[in-house]
Structure 1
Amino acid sequence: MIPALASALLLLGLSLPAAEAAAKRKSATSATPPVTLKVAKTNRVAKKRVASSRRVVIVPSRPSAGELAGLHGTSDPLDLRSSVAFVIDQDTHEVLLDKNAQAVLPIASLTKLMTSVVVVEAGLPLDEVLTISQDDVDTEKGSGSRLRVGTQLTRGEMLHLALMSSENRAANALGRHYPGGQAAFVEAMNAKAQLLGMGDTRYVEPTGLSSRNQSSAKDLALLVGAASQHPLISELSTSPSYQVAVGRRTLQYHTTNRLVLNPSWEIGLQKTGYISEAGRCLVMQARLAGRKLIMVFLDSTGKYSRLGDAERVRQWIEAAPVTTTATVPGLSS
């Protein structure tokens, strides 16, 4: 043994064999060090962790249609996270806020608002029992549902779940049980849109899972106004929660819009929506500062940003009642 090395080992209280063993242990534990990957926060990248301690796989999320169109770069007086926003007084038709309101984009489950209008105006019996079939299973996005194939609920229960908790199978079943079937139902949806003057709007199915269901904020404001004339739609869309009996089970559903639970809001009608192509969407009719307003937010980034945008608008209006239009230069018609 080399004297200098032996002396050093003695000072550390180790013998040469013990030191060699310790070195082997250290080598074994550091041979495959864990890889730590730091990823900057971004709305355009989703992180997916694979069941491995050695790597992180980065899966890019699909950009929304608004993002592809460059709408996310549009600024506005309230610094909204939605690339499209439209606020109008329902009684006077005064436009209070207009941000890309003419842009035609996918509207996700906001579609279900037109679905409900067609069902209600058709005068179909709400106590008629409808059955979920394999045709109601989502093959567009692969989304799940607690309404299994064979589940039977009344048309009224299906309508409640579609509006309040955005139940896709319930919405599809409503269209499928329309006289003439789903093709006739979609035709009725588009006919109603034209009747309301919604010239930028097109529907291909009743759930909103298809990105080919498209509209503009201005058109959707017309739809909200029409839907709010039906007390049943207003009541069901603003319901906080609802239970349905399915065989021996009782299923509890909740609203997709937590502003419904906020006592500072007086919401008369609402509907949320989301698919990746549409971003987060929200339409509401609400009374603010003594005015009945229709609010539309499309292509919002972040899970709660559409609700945050609604809060920004509420605080803005209540702080200083608006008498003139707030627009984004060059984007309002």
Structure 2
Amino acid sequence: MGVGNFVSAETGWGIFSKLYQQSLVLKPAITNLFNTVSTTVTVADVSPVIVELGFSALQSGQTVKSADQQLSVNYLPQSLLRPTNVEIKGVSIANLPWNLAIVSPIYQIDLADDSAFVTNVGAKLNITYQGLNTDHKQIFFYDSQQAVWQPLSSLDWPSEHRVEVLLTRPFIQLAVFAHTGVMTAGQASWYAYKNCDCAASPDFAKGSIIRVTNKANGRSVDVTINDWGPERSKHPERAIDLDKLAFAKIASLRDGVIDVQLQPLFVAPDSQGRVLGIKEQGLTATPIITAKSAIIMDESGQILYDKASETVAPLASLTKTIAIWTFLDIKPNLFAAVAYQYADEQLNYQYCKPSESAKVTLKDGDLVLVKDLIYSALVGSANNAVETLVRVSGLDRADFIVRMNDNVIKWGTTNTKFVEPTGLSTKNVSTAKDYAIILRQVFSNEIIAQASVSPKYEFTTINTQIKHSFRNTNNLVANQAEIVGSKTGYLYEAGYCLATKVKQPSGYVYIVTLGAPKRQSSFDEMNDLIDYAHSL
């Protein structure tokens, strides 16, 4: 499988080109139907094998196998400059990727004379894997200097239960891993769209090239992914949907739905440069997070993941959840009509330019419901809505802020402080650990929790009948039912901040990231941490 911008981790685009050209010729007939069966592998030691690669290997090539016969290395003619020995053995590495399933032993290949190996010729390596399942398989190597696993440009041959790669390193530690949930077998339907050899996939990014084989007749077509779908939650058996033209090359359109096998020939990176969810930094036993600090905390307060969680940093709009909780603690009438004042938003402009402040566009004297202001603050992160709520709370603004601070101290925080209620001030500070404690309290309020995960909200001013609508600033809430509370935040000084309450079979977890460098990376890393919490 070509792996987008990760190909350089092994040999560059040339290797993908060689493997792809070979795969265009080698189209094995599909004789086995896949069952969805999980594979459990015990990573045990494989006895060492030491083989002499003599002059005959230089001229004619030589194949060497591991003691368990699952790994073979075919040293090609011209792979070696002079005779040497190679040792193949099993090794144990505790730092396995958190989001992949290992399906082979970990092998170490070590040439006695590194300089004898011609890296631009390489050697053909195959690893067979046990069991039969529908998850896509890929070879990864262990970078001991960085203590991470990196993907190799390998080809998965599901019908033969093997993965192939062109080896270009004299020393390497590697294994086969399965991308859980990335299907290489299942059903395919068709749709009429662009009349091309193309397809829609929920697993592979646009630009990926996939060989699709009809299991009933062995006929194949190579398609380029140009759309997303089918929705896996609604169609769990569907691996891919083909354009009408591509489907007709392997089956009759009357068939409608067929059983297929997929072989990824090239997997393109997504818009964030991730390949099958893997960042350029590789994989370790825990997610690699670019946010400055992060935490996963369960309902009991136990910390399940920690990255600099006690580092004090600006909170940005995460401040709003505490402001709304403090307001609701006063027991207001949610359906009371209150008058908006232009002076409310002027308080925001102490910290930013008018064009820089998220707000709901109201005019002086507009009548709105208290509920509408709460949803404006939590769904649309409207700063002026918060100040209106503070003004109508019955408390002096300074007293309201004091109460915000008193509340979080009472909940057990030690490094949190607020100087205003919206998050526009960089002097509103906390830590990931403190904010996880805050989340446990504020999202216990059903009004805050429900508003925070509403994908969109709209309301009409009472006196002018002008309609206002906005979408949630968190892209994740539209598609993830397990997120039952969430809030975003951003300031230049704070970076992108995100907090969620996630429902799991074992209970709720609270996840906070502060200081992500990009908005999308904030969402991607939250997804990683949610998946990691599920895996524990």
TM-score relative to the length of structure 1: 0.70
1:67-106 paired onto structure 2 within 5 Å: 77-90=286-299, 92-106=300-314
- Corresponding residue SS for 2:292: strand
Partner of 2:320, secondary structure, is helix
Give the direction of change, closer, same or farther, for the CA distance of 1:208–1:76 in structure 2 (3 Å limit).
farther
The amino acid of 1:141's aligned partner reads C
Identity %: 26
Task: Tell me the alpha carbon deviations over residues 225-281 of structure 1, each in whole angstroms, 9 at most, x when there is no partner.
Answer: 001221111111111111111323211111111111114x41111111111111100
The one-letter code sitting in structure 1 at the alignment partner of 2:514 is L
**CA–CA separation in structure 2 for the residues paired with 1:146 and 1:270:** 20
- Between the aligned partners of 2:322 and 2:340, the Cα distance in structure 1 is 20
Deviation at 1:224, TM superposition (A): 0.5
Is the Cα contact below 8 Å between 1:268 and 1:286 reproduced in 2?
A: yes
Q: 1:157 to 1:76 in 2, by over 3 A?
A: farther
Gaps of 5+ in 2: 1-283
In structure 1, the partner of 2:486 is 270
Matched with 2:419 is 204
Q: Structure 1 residue 289: deviation in Å?
A: 5.4
What is the root-mean-square deviation of aligned Cα atoms in Å?
A: 1.8
Distance in 2 of aligned mates of 1:314 and 1:193: 25
Structure 1 residue 207: Cα displacement = 0.6
TM-score for both structures, normalised by structure 2: 0.44
Distance 1:157 1:124 in 2: 13
Counterpart of 1:287 (choices 490, 496, 503) is: 503
Q: Give the one of 401, 409, 420 matched to 1:186.
A: 401
Question: Is 1:118 aligned with 2:326?
Answer: yes
**Cα shift readout 1:144-164 (whole Å, capped 9, x = no counterpart):** 434233132111110111111
CA distance 1:267–1:215, shift in 2 (3 Å) = same
Contact 2:439 2:510 survives alignment (8 Å): yes
Q: Tell me if structure 2 keeps the 8 A contact 1:243–1:251.
A: yes
CA distance, structure 1, for counterparts of residue 407 and residue 510 of structure 2: 19
* Pair 1:251-2:462 in alignment: no
Letter in 2 for 1:195: K
CA distance in 2, matches of 1:113, 1:188: 13
Q: What is the distance in 2 between the residues matched to 1:169 and 1:271?
A: 17
Contact 2:456/2:471 (<8 A) preserved? yes
Report the AA paired with residue 492 of structure 2.
S
**Structure 1 position 205, deviation (Å):** 1.0
1:198/1:93 Cα in 2 relative to 1: closer, same or farther (>3 Å)? closer
Q: Deviations over 1:271-307 (max 9, x none)?
A: 1111111110011100245441100000011121111
Alpha carbons of structure 1 residues 76 and 153: separation in structure 2 relative to 1, 3 Å = farther
Distance in 1 of aligned mates of 2:398 and 2:336: 20
Displacement of 1:76 after TM fit? Answer: 9.5
State the alpha-carbon separation in 2 of the partners of residues 191 and 314 from structure 1: 31
User: Which of 423, 430, 436 is 1:221 aligned to?
Assistant: 436
* Inter-partner Cα distance in structure 1 for 2:430 and 2:424: 14
8 Å Cα contact 2:296-2:533 kept in structure 1: no
Match of 1:148 among 362, 367, 372: 362
Q: What CA distance in whole angstroms lies between the structure 1 residues aligned with 2:320 and 2:441?
A: 14
CA distance in 1, matches of 2:435, 2:500: 10
Q: Which structure's residues are more often helix, by fraction?
A: 1
**SS of alignment partner, residue 511 of structure 2:** strand
2:477 aligned with 1:260: yes
Match of residue 234 from structure 1: 449
Deviations 1:15-68 (A, max 9, x none): xxxxxxxxxxxxxxxxxxxxxxxxxxxxxxxxxxxxxxxxxxxxxxxxxxxxxx
* Contact 1:83–1:298 under 8 Å retained in 2: yes
Indicate conservation of the 8 Å contact 2:319/2:422, yes or no.
Answer: yes
Q: Which residue of 1 aligns with 2:521?
A: 305
Aligned in 2, Cα 1:87/1:135: closer, same or farther, shift over 3 Å? Answer: same
**What is the one-letter code of the residue matched to 1:224?**
L
Does the C-alpha gap of structure 1 residues 204 and 210 become closer, same or farther in structure 2, counting only changes over 3 Å?
Answer: same
Give the distance between the partners of 1:228 and 1:160, measured in 2 at CA: 14
3-state secondary structure, aligned to 2:528: helix
**Which amino acid counterpart does residue 188 of structure 1 have in structure 2?**
R
Instruction: Report the Cα distance in structure 2 between the residues aligned to 1:234 and 1:288, rounded to whole angstroms.
Output: 16
User: Which structure's relative contact order is higher, taking Cα pairs within 8 Å and 6+ residues apart?
Assistant: 1
Tell me whether 226-235 or 75-84 shows the greater mean CA deviation.
75-84
Matches of 1:213 and 1:303, distance apart in 2: 20
Q: Which structure shows the bigger proportion of residues in strand conformation?
A: 2
Moved more, 209-218 or 246-255: 246-255
SS at match of 2:321: helix
Do 2:334 and 2:369's aligned partners in 1 also have CA atoms closer than 8 Å?
A: yes
Q: Deviations over 1:77-124 (max 9, x none)?
A: 42212111010111x322111111101111000000101110111102
Instruction: List aligned pairs for 1:18-37, cutoff 5 A.
Output: none
Aligned partner letter, 2:475? R
Runs of 4+ off more than 6 Å? none
* 3-state DSSP of counterpart to 1:122: coil
**C-alpha spacing 1:181/1:154, structure 2 compared with 1 (3 Å):** farther
The match for 2:256 is none
Secondary structure of residue in 1 paired with 2:329? helix
User: What per-residue deviation string (whole Å, max 9, x for no partner) do you get for residues 202-226 of structure 1?
Assistant: 1111111111111111111111000
Q: Secondary structure at the match of 1:297?
A: strand
Contact preservation (8 Å) 1:217, 1:297: yes
| Number of equivalent positions | 244
Structure 1: gaps of 5 or more residues: 1-74, 322-333
Aligned to 1:173, the other structure's residue is in SS state helix
Contact preservation (8 Å) 2:502, 2:530: no
Cα separation, 1, equivalents of 2:379 and 2:393: 21
